[in-house]
Amino acid sequence: MLQGYTFLGDPVDVVETSRGCTFDCSFCSIIEMRGRNFYTREMARVIADITDAHDHGAKVIFLVDDNVTLDVRRFEALCEAIIEANLHHLRYIVQGMTSAFAAHGERLAPLMKRAGFEYVFLGIENVLEADLAFLKASAKNAQREGGRRVGNATLAAIEILHRHGIFVVGGLIVGNPDDTSEAIEANLAFARAHVALNGFDGADTQFLDADVNATLRRFIEEGRSFDAIVLDPPKFAPTVAHAERAARAYKDINRLALKLLEPGGVLMSFSCSGGIGADLFHKIVASAGLDAHVDGYITERLGASPDHPMTIEFPEGEYLKGLVVVRKLG
Ligand SMILES: C[S@@+](CC[C@H](N)C(=O)[O-])C[C@H]1O[C@@H](n2cnc3c(N)ncnc32)[C@H](O)[C@@H]1O
Ligand code: SF4
């Protein structure tokens, strides 16, 4: 049982029913780590794991499967097994693929709802066909029937899941090497439209397509400050050879962010660079604090989640690191 983890206030645990994926999206870390494979676990074992999590106090289950919708029949059988085992009073979160929900959602979504599924992460990735082609993820936008393309799978999947009372969290990837501002703006417009469609006040939510360093500097000049800042930049140092240059880049954004933080505010600063170890990352953030004349308490050191593969034969798997820093009041 995971201790101390909650989802919207309720104790959460993770269960694995399958692993891997046979698609080949160019950005996907799953394919990098495991190759194009799909392994499934026996249904009885999955139900035993969910029962065990429940017996240890879990109220929410995150199914960590990379692409549970790769085998829709099996996913339906899983929903049925959950209902049969009387485990459908738990709340479930899962990640699945747009095209699978577009093709099978009319049958799948109501069954998922009955089984207790509440949130689905959809890898939407991008709303533009050209970007999806670059990401080798064109299948995500194609709604097919009888081998023919009949519509937009992303919009169909969102509509079907919403209609059955299931929340959707969508992932968008922008900033491909040849992306234009217009291409990024098209994706941000899609995100903005869904903020409004969900009944939220758009004025409270800003999506900016901007140069991070220049924008943070402008915010400082304008005297703005923030209660919480999350820095989650791309991989500045894929290998140790890039570490020196990357260290300067990490220090710059951390220095600017610390300056923008309210006293008592929280900075969550991350690095996914294999070339920057946790100790070096701490030193970089410390040095950024010195330059910014800002001190803070490290309240948490973060790493990969428990389902992330870190084997003794694959030390490169340990590349995710993060610090949670609360700015000192004085
Ligand atoms: C394991 S997939 C789960 C979703 C599901 N398999 C799908 O394709 O819709 C996890 C999601 O994380 C994101 N992701 C995976 N690798 C990534 C990477 N290297 N950089 C950024 N996002 C990534 C993508 O949005 C992807 O859809
Ligand atoms: S479909 Fe999902 S899990 Fe499969 S390769 Fe693409 S992003 Fe990764």
Q: Are residues 127 and 272 in the same domain?
A: no
3-state SS class at 216: helix
Q: Are residues 40 and 144 in the same domain?
A: yes
pLDDT, residue 305, reads: 78
Q: Are residues 245 and 317 in the same domain?
A: yes
Q: Are residues 166 and 216 in the same domain?
A: no
| Closest Cα to atom 26 of ligand 1 | 123
User: Residue 94 CA to chain centroid, in angstroms?
Assistant: 12
User: How many Å lie between the centroid of ligand 1 and the Cα of residue 221?
Assistant: 36
pLDDT, residue 199, reads: 85
HSE-CB of 224 using CA atoms within 13 angstroms: 12
H/E segment holding residue 33: helix 29-34
Range of the domain at 145: 1-173
* CATH number of the structural domain spanning residue 238: 3.40.50.150
**Ligand 1 near 171 CB (within 6 A):** yes
- Two tokens, residue 172: 């968008």
Please answer whether residues 63 and 48 qualify as being in contact, where contact means their C-beta atoms are separated by less than 8 angstroms. no
CA distances in angstroms from 156 to 151, 185, 290, listed in the order given? 8, 22, 51
Please answer whether residues 161 and 95 qualify as being in contact, where contact means their C-beta atoms are separated by less than 8 angstroms. no
| Closest Cα to atom 8 of ligand 2 | 28
User: How many Å lie between the centroid of ligand 2 and the Cα of residue 287?
Assistant: 38
pLDDT, residue 307, reads: 67
Query: pLDDT tens, position by position, for the chain (330 residues)?
Result: 667 889 999 999 999 999 999 999 998 988 887 889 999 999 999 999 999 999 999 999 999 999 999 999 999 999 999 999 999 999 999 999 999 999 999 999 999 999 999 999 999 999 999 999 999 999 888 888 777 777 789 999 999 999 999 999 999 999 888 889 999 999 999 999 998 888 888 777 888 888 999 999 999 999 999 999 999 998 888 888 888 999 999 999 999 999 999 999 999 999 998 889 999 999 999 999 999 999 999 999 999 877 676 778 877 778 899 999 999 997
> What is the pTM assigned to this prediction?
0.82
71 located within any domain: yes
Q: Are residues 119 and 223 in the same domain?
A: no
List residues bridging with 297 in a β-sheet.
Answer: 326
Q: Are residues 161 and 224 in the same domain?
A: no
Question: Which ligand 1 atom lies nearest to the CA of residue 29?
Answer: 16
State the total domains in the chain.
2
CA distances in angstroms from 72 to 50, 67, 86, 103, 238, listed in the order given? 20, 10, 21, 10, 36
| Closest Cα to atom 2 of ligand 2 | 67
Domain stops at, among 121, 149, 173: 173
**Ligand 1 near 27 CB (within 6 A):** yes
Q: Which of 307, 327, 325 is nearest to 317 (CA)?
A: 307
H/E segment holding residue 202: none
Residue 216, number of CB atoms within 10 A of its CB: 21
| Closest Cα to atom 9 of ligand 1 | 123
Separation of alpha carbons 155 and 163, rounded Å: 12
**Ligand 1 near 69 CB (within 6 A):** no
* CATH number of the structural domain spanning residue 42: 3.20.20.70
196 located within any domain: no
Torsion sign (Cα): 277, 278, 279, 281: positive
201 located within any domain: no
197 located within any domain: no
User: How many Å lie between the centroid of ligand 2 and the Cα of residue 20?
Assistant: 8
88 located within any domain: yes
User: How many Å lie between the centroid of ligand 1 and the Cα of residue 95?
Assistant: 9
Q: Which ligand is nearest to the CA of 123?
A: 1
302 located within any domain: yes
Domain stops at, among 128, 147, 173: 173
List residues bridging with 120 in a β-sheet.
Answer: 94, 168
b (16+ CB within 10 A) / e for 30-63: bbebbeeebebeebeebbebbeebbeeebbbbbb
**Ligand 1 near 18 CB (within 6 A):** no
180 located within any domain: no
pLDDT, residue 35, reads: 85
**Ligand 1 near 90 CB (within 6 A):** no
Ligand 2 neighbours (beta carbon < 6 A): 21, 23, 25, 28, 30-31, 66-67, 97, 123, 137
**Ligand 1 near 176 CB (within 6 A):** no
Q: Are residues 105 and 150 in the same domain?
A: yes
User: How many Å lie between the centroid of ligand 1 and the Cα of residue 28?
Assistant: 6
Q: Are residues 246 and 151 in the same domain?
A: no
User: How many Å lie between the centroid of ligand 2 and the Cα of residue 292?
Assistant: 40
